[in-house]
């Protein structure tokens, strides 16, 4: 696409278009919204980004993002250190924390195994996970990975490796979502829900 808004603005659009969910068209709209709302949006956003770039670190224990290392969850003595929840990225950790249903600790893999993209275990935080899981205090590892081909491949690989450490491994249940109507669900979800049924 030919540059048409001047090099500074095109550079901004080019960077915005690299964000997830952003194409060239939505990046242009976002750039325009930022430039039109300089004081309310552009300046506070650039300050927040500079602050995040300076302060946010990856926790050397679990791989989560925080301004301190170890992160707030790893440093919290109230969290159950015998429960370890494995997630793909920090976004999944945030989602589980928002739900407020898990009181253990986390391990962020930093991705998923993918034969197609050539991602092997050495590219993820698998070695750290095995070390943490076999450290003695862990009595259950919960694999909270996506219900995709790569997610399930990764879960099976990790379950096999963790079995060698004799740590019980569980996976998140799959089935009918809260508020879900059965006739709106896809066949795969319904089949999983029927197989994973439990006593009422
Ligand atoms: Zn941590």
Q: Separation of 154 CA from ligand 1 center, angstroms?
A: 21
pLDDT score at 136: 82
Q: How far is the CA of 126 from the centre of ligand 1 (A)?
A: 15
Looking at residue 5, its pLDDT comes to 79
* Distance separating alpha carbons of residues 1 and 25, to the nearest angstrom: 11
For ligand 1, the distance from its centroid to the CA atom of residue 98, given in whole angstroms, is: 17
| pLDDT tens, N- to C-terminus, the chain (200 residues) | 455 779 999 999 999 999 999 999 999 999 999 999 999 999 999 999 999 999 999 999 999 999 999 999 999 999 999 999 999 999 999 999 999 999 999 999 999 999 899 999 999 999 999 999 998 889 999 999 999 999 999 999 999 999 988 899 999 998 898 888 999 999 999 998 999 898 98
Reported pTM: 0.87
Per-residue burial over 120-135, b if 16 or more Cβ lie within 10 Å, else e, is ebeebbbebbbebbee
Nearest to 141 by CA among 165, 114, 118: 165
* Cα–chain center distance at 12: 26
Q: 58 alpha carbon to ligand 1 midpoint, in Å?
A: 8
- pLDDT (0 to 100) of residue 2: 54
């Amino acid at each position: 696409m030919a540059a048409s808004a001047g090099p500074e603005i095109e550079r901004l659009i080019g960077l915005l278009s690299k964000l997830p969910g952003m194409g060239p068209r939505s990046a242009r709209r976002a750039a325009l919204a930022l430039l039109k709302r300089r004081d309310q949006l552009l300046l506070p956003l650039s300050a927040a980004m500079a602050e995040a770039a300076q302060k946010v670190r990856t926790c050397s224990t679990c791989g989560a993002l925080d301004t301190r290392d170890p992160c707030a969850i790893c440093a919290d003595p109230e969290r159950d250190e015998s429960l370890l929840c494995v997630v793909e990225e920090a976004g999944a950790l945030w989602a589980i924390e928002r739900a407020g249903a898990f009181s253990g600790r986390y391990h962020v893999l930093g991705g998923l195994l993918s034969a197609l993209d050539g991602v092997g275990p050495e590219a993820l935080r698998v070695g750290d996970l095995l070390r943490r899981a076999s450290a003695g205090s862990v009595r259950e590892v919960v694999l909270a990975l996506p219900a995709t081909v790569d997610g399930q491949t990764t879960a099976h690989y990790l379950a096999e490796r963790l079995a060698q450490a004799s740590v019980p491994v569980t996976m998140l249940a799959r089935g009918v979502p809260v508020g879900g109507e059965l006739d709106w669900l896809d066949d795969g979800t319904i089949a999983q829900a029927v197989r994973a049924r439990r006593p009422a």
